[in-house]
Amino acid sequence: MKLVAIGISVSLSYFAFSGEVEKQISKKEYVDMWRSTAVQQMIDYNIPASITLAQGILESGSGNSELAKTAKNHFGIKCHDWTGEKMYMDDDQKNECFRVYASAEESYVDHSLFLKDKKRYNALFSLEKTDYKAWAKGLKDAGYATNPKYPDLLIEIIEDLKLDELDKLGIQNNELKPDLTADSKSTSSVVSADAVKHTVMTHENKVKYVIAKKGDTFYRIAKEYELGLWQLYKYNDFGPKKDVLIEGDIVYIQPKRLKSKNKEIKLDKAMTLREVSQKEAIKLDALIRLNNISSGDEILPKGEKVILH
């Protein structure tokens, strides 16, 4: 795809509805957010983590482009035979169709599947996984982008950010779950698969869940419990802006209930119904109906009573 339109959109500061300037994500911050996902994609699909991250940075403007923010599409993948939600914007031609995802992580998985499933990219998988220069050139030759400088742009990003170190880590941990949350100086550390296993707990509302560990991703938990990403998002009410798990997050691996045995709770701090939904293992739409509140993101004051049954 052309990089001009997206490049313009991410080279300028964008504004929130409040009129305040919203801080842009830097390349380094983007890498910190998505390196564990990129390495996991390398382990699962044999695509260099450096290439995945470099493409994500380039195509999404480090997650700042309108396509990335609105459609959660970090790789500029167009609709083709896509049957899901769609977004239209100008690119090589006017009003082109792009895929819309529930999360950026789902975009990462679809990017891997896109390269794996399209015959024109078959030659890439005969290349060495550490040969990011050949992969960059191969992507351009296979028609991923129309910009003749596309390979050079990818290589520059990889070398500036030393993303090739993640390729080595992906190979070393082919059968393991690496801990990629430490400072970049310690990215060569290896953590066994057992070290990141989760303990399944049962909420008093009889719904099974796990507690997110440092560096966890939705994809990692979905793989561990043989769930689809769509199931994990459906079982939890994190909202469209929740792309990255935080240590301590409750993640349900079963559908939440429509009500609780407790009739109501009194909030001990200001919360949204979305937060109450995760805390009480009750579906957000059920809480909205029970409490006759229009938005799950409306902040309720401390001391407010929330109906659960």
Residue 69, C-beta contacts closer than 8 angstroms, at least 6 positions apart: 63
- For residue range 117-168, list pLDDT tens digits in order: 999 999 999 999 999 999 999 999 999 988 999 999 999 999 999 999 999 8
Checking if the pLDDT of 231 tops 90, the result is no
Supply the angle between the helices 164-172 and 27-45 in degrees, to the nearest 10.
Answer: 30
pLDDT at 12: 40
Under 8 Å between Cβ of 134 and 7: no
* Better-scored residue on pLDDT, 50 or 14: 50
pLDDT at 185: 36
Under 8 Å between Cβ of 75 and 5: no
Q: Domains in the chain, ordered, with CATH?
A: 4-186 (1.10.530.10), 197-309 (no CATH)
- For residue range 157-214, list pLDDT tens digits in order: 999 999 999 998 888 765 444 444 333 333 333 333 344 588 999 999 999 999 998 8
Coil vs helix vs strand at 190? coil
Question: Distance between the two ends of the chain, CA-based, in angstroms?
Answer: 51
If one counts every other C-beta atom within 10 angstroms of the C-beta of residue 34, the result is: 27
CA–CA distances in Å: residue 226 to residues 184, 203, 223: 30, 20, 5
pLDDT at 259: 93
Cα gap 195→222, rounded to integer Å: 17
pLDDT at 112: 95
Under 8 Å between Cβ of 206 and 245: no
